[in-house]
A = this chain, B = another copy of it.
Amino acid sequence: MIYSPADLEAKINLAISELDYKKEPLSLFEPIEYILSIGGKRLRPILAYMGTNLFSNDIDKTTYPALAIEIFHNFSLLHDDLMDNASIRRGEQTVHKKWNANTAVLSGDAMLIDAYNYITKVPSNVLSPILEVFTETAMQVCEGQQYDMDFETSLNVKESDYIKMIRLKTAVLLAASLKIGAILGGASNEDADKLYDFGINIGLAFQLKDDLLDVYGNTLSFGKEIGGDIVSNKKTFLLIKALENSNESDKATLKEWIVTERFDANTKINAVKKIYDGLNLELMTDKLIQKYYLAALNCLSEVDIPSDRKNELLIYTKDLMNREK
């Protein structure tokens, strides 16, 4: 049986709702329950289940590692929001705003440990390879966050630096979710690696789409406001290309906006967007997204299973690429 994304989302949400964080000390565990309950797309657990389901009809054994991956992902959001001093996550207060910085540090630590608690519950014959992927990936996510923070204070970030950063910060965890799922499904090493490469390319396309939607997304979308990255000077693909490709006058305008501390948000968004428009960055970014998406499809085509087993994953990732928010 092939499960749909909706089936899998329901399955992981049920598993999350059954986690027991109502225990002492409450001040440690309540923020964990909070951040896990405020939603999200559950993209990574769904990919983990799908990775298993490509090769096997028995996906129940993937629930613990899927939980581990989702808890790890939310740990990284919790600590990233603290480091970025972000106030809102998924339309709700971030943990360090709702509680305080110390709570964000320590509850985040407890989540990382709890992620290991669940990843360790995989069958013992696959424990070593799965731990290896998980730990390597977790470290890479930290490296990606460090590069992202380092880039904040630099005006000379190159496209290749940026792609490296989003590969580490975002793509590897999507890829690892698929690979861990595949290992649990009994995939060959070759197929598991092909699926990992598929995940890397989908992850890069996914993050570039995020960058694009921040500027050119549907304004009716919720959770995030349009132009948030522009307001906060986030070094997105668009800003990096704009700093690289614009003429001296536009470059000076961009740098001026970056250092200006008091401004009207809409004025800044419109001014920066005008420069992006002049450089045709919407089209350029979309082309790069298509490049990675096609590379992903190419990797998936090489996974040695009947093509009808790949349909749900293909449709799911296509929808991710075509989302408007």
Q: CB within 8 Å of B: which residues of A?
A: 24-25, 27-28, 79, 82-83, 101-102, 105-106, 108-110, 112-114, 116-117, 120, 124, 127-128, 131-132, 135, 138-139, 142-143, 145-147, 149-150
B143:A120 contact, CB within 8 angstroms? no
Please list 29 pairs of residues, one from A and one from B, whose beta carbons are closer than 8 Å in the complex, sorted by A's number.
Answer: A24-B143, A25-B150, A27-B150, A28-B142, A28-B143, A79-B106, A82-B105, A83-B102, A83-B105, A83-B106, A102-B149, A105-B105, A106-B142, A106-B149, A108-B109, A109-B142, A110-B142, A110-B143, A112-B112, A113-B138, A113-B139, A114-B139, A116-B116, A116-B131, A116-B138, A117-B135, A120-B132, A124-B128, A127-B127
Question: Which residues of the partner chain B approach A106 to less than 8 Å between Cβ atoms?
Answer: 79, 83, 142, 145-146, 149
Question: Which residues of the partner chain B approach A114 to less than 8 Å between Cβ atoms?
Answer: 139
Instruction: Give Cα distance in the complex from A24 to B139, angstroms.
Output: 12
A142's nearest neighbour on chain B, judged by CB, is B110
Question: Which residues of the partner chain B approach A25 to less than 8 Å between Cβ atoms?
Answer: 143, 146-147, 150
A168 to chain B, nearest CB (A): 9
Taking A113-B135, A120-B135 as given, write out 13 further A-B residue pairs in contact, using a Cβ cutoff of 8 Å, ordered by the A residue number. A25-B147, A27-B146, A27-B150, A79-B105, A101-B101, A105-B105, A109-B142, A112-B112, A113-B142, A116-B135, A116-B138, A120-B131, A127-B127
Instruction: Give Cα distance in the complex from A227 to B176, angstroms.
Output: 50
Most chain B CB atoms below 10 A, which of A112, A114, A116, A149: A116
Question: Which residues of the partner chain B approach A82 to less than 8 Å between Cβ atoms?
Answer: 105
Question: Which residues of the partner chain B approach A135 to less than 8 Å between Cβ atoms?
Answer: 113, 116-117, 120
A110's nearest neighbour on chain B, judged by CB, is B142
- Can you list the 7 inter-chain pairs with the closest CB atoms, starting with the nearest? A28-B146, A25-B146, A83-B102, A110-B142, A113-B138, A120-B131, A117-B135
